[in-house]
Amino acid sequence: MVRCLRVVFVLLVASIVSSQSYAEDAAKLNVLFIAVDDLNNSLGTYGHKLVKSPNIDRLARKGVRFDRAYCQFPLCNPSRASFLTGRRPDTMGVLENSTHFRKALPDVATLPQVFSNNGYFAARVGKLFHYGVPNQIGTPGFDDPPSWQLALFPRGAERDEVQRVVNYSGGTNIGGALTWYQSDAPDEQQTDGRVATEAIRLLEERKDKPFFLAVGFYQPHVPCVTNQKWLDLYPMNKIDLPREPQNVRDGVPSAAFTVNPPNYGASEQDLKTFTRAYYASISYMDSQVGRLLDALDRLGLAKNTIVVLFGDHGWSLGEHGQWQKMSLFEESARVPMVIYAPGAKGNGRSCGRTAQLLDLYPTLADLCGMPQSGAEGNSLKPLLENPRAKWIHAAYTQVSRGPMMGRSVRTERYRYTEWDEGRKGVELYDHDKDPKERRNLGEDPAHTHTVAKLRRLLRRQ
């Protein structure tokens, strides 16, 4: 009898412990972390009149859309290393695409590591840490193995079709030029389609335990790859290019420009054709985002899964005659960013406060009750509860020109930029009056006080 009672007691304790463990797992919020390569704010939810992005738009209606969000460095490796470690590019010494962040920070705990160390399954599908597109698609690239318990690198049809690429800007680096082509492969055979398929499989397999699933989509990174059905959304007669004043470069430091001559000297027809492909590849990528969101709903995960979606940096489409990234103008520094946190009071609203990709690390750690030691950003949790809450934080972006550095600070009203600490010129733009940054007020005597104030702010980052 005593022996039976002991057995019953042991089974009862085990059941209680198991129930407690299950309850603790159930109480944990999952994270679906979606990074999109070279995605600017050309999205319906940000007011673009032509681009169709219904799935990102519906996520924005559900969560909080950040209207003034900025990257730390408009280049893949520095930006991605920054938001995945929570450290600034200067802290890591990562200012180009060839330095791994662990060279300077060998023991840093990345964002997925923090989750893994706290009982989560941490996995990566697609491009999270940097690697070259398109040539390194399907390889680990510049991965960080300690960050993941599982890393998958799908390879789609476009990796084997690079010989079909059309290049409007010249050069041999097709991953850094105005390149695109129309593929005959169906959506699910492209890399982003395979990324979504693998991510959905992991959601199905891991739905009963807490997870941090990072999903990296490749489009619209060049070469923009799309098929006819997405191109059909954008008739050529609907494609417009920025109409810049002839004097738009007057009074602007030469370091601000990377594309010389403006627009690469390409024809208007070629520029419109490329822009059409960029828009079409956004719509294709958006459809794959939709598959992920549908899977969350189907699996009953939407109610307890934080969803974050953002672009790793901006991308210029002819503004100031500039294309691609690596500038400190608004189009290159600004990023789309949407955060849905279950139960957050700010859900369904937009936020006009300045935010940074650097803030993602402390925000997710804060939402999930995890340590964030050393993170240099700020938790956005107060803004997820009240998008109009008092907020004193500016956003900082930097970019290199060889050994020289350009640094920019963005407040809700102004952008202030210094090249080589001001020795190679300064820029000041009043976004209340000049949202396209067409009039540099940096040397205007009437704005001396504003320049001095923002210079001090820039040095406080």
How is residue 136 annotated by DSSP? Answer: T
Q: Which ranges constitute the DSSP H helices of 126-211?
A: 191-206
102, pLDDT greater than 50: yes
Digit-coded pLDDT (tens) for 217-235: 999 999 999 999 999 999 9
Average pLDDT over the chain, rounded to an integer: 94
pLDDT at 58 over 60: yes
Quote the pTM value. 0.94
Q: What is the pLDDT of residues 307-316, one digit of tens each?
A: 999 999 999 9
CB 32 within 8 A of CB 213: yes
Average pLDDT over residues 351-378: 96
Average pLDDT over every residue of 352-371:
97
Q: What pLDDT was estimated at residue 25?
A: 47
pLDDT at position 104 is: 94
In the 8-state DSSP scheme, what is residue 250?
T
* Contact indicator for 38, 75 with CB cutoff of 8 Å: no
Long-range contacts of the stretch 376-379 (C-beta < 8 A, 24+) = 376/86, 376/87, 376/88, 376/91, 377/86
What's the CA angle centered on 200, arms 194 and 204, to 5 degrees? 145
CB distance 321 to 263 below 8 Å: yes
Q: Is the pLDDT of residue 5 over 50?
A: no
Q: Taking residues 448-459, what's their average pLDDT? A: 97
Spell out the long-range contacts of 204-210 with Cβ–Cβ below 8 A and sequence spacing 24 or more: 204/295, 204/299, 206/121, 206/123, 207/299, 207/300, 207/301, 208/25, 209/25, 209/121, 210/25, 210/28, 210/29, 210/30, 210/119, 210/120, 210/121
Q: Model confidence at 161, in pLDDT bands (50, 70, 90)?
A: confident
Q: Mean of the pLDDT values across residues 324-345? A: 98
Instruction: Quote the pLDDT of residue 160.
Output: 86
Please give the share of the chain, as a percent, with pLDDT higher than 90: 90
Given this model, what pLDDT does residue 90 score? 96
- Partners of 114 in the beta sheet? none
Q: Band the pLDDT of 7: cuts 50, 70, 90.
A: very low
450 vs 428: CA distance, rounded Å: 9
The per-residue pLDDT for 16 is: 39
Model confidence pLDDT, tens digit, residues 250-282: 999 999 999 999 999 999 999 999 999 999 999
CB 222 within 8 A of CB 179: yes
Strand spans (E) along 269-411: 305-311, 316-317, 323-324, 334-340, 350-356, 395-401, 404-410
Quick check: 17 pLDDT over 80? no
In this prediction, residue 22 carries a pLDDT of: 32
Predicted local distance difference test score (pLDDT) of residue 15: 39
Mean pLDDT of 152-163: 91
Categorize the per-residue pLDDT at 372 as very low, low, confident or very high, splitting at 50, 70 and 90. Answer: confident
Grade residue 159 by pLDDT with cuts at 50, 70 and 90: confident
Give me the active site residues, please.
76, 130
Is the pLDDT at 440 greater than 80, yes or no? yes
- How confident is the model at residue 19, as a pLDDT? 35
Please tell me the least confidently modeled range out of 21-25, 58-62, 143-147: 21-25
When mean pLDDT is compared across 2-16, 66-80, 95-109, 371-385, the lowest value belongs to: 2-16
Q: Domain map of the chain by residue range? A: 28-382
Q: What is the pLDDT of residue 21?
A: 38
pLDDT of 11 reads: 42
Question: Domain 28-382: what homologous superfamily?
Answer: Alkaline Phosphatase, subunit A (3.40.720.10)
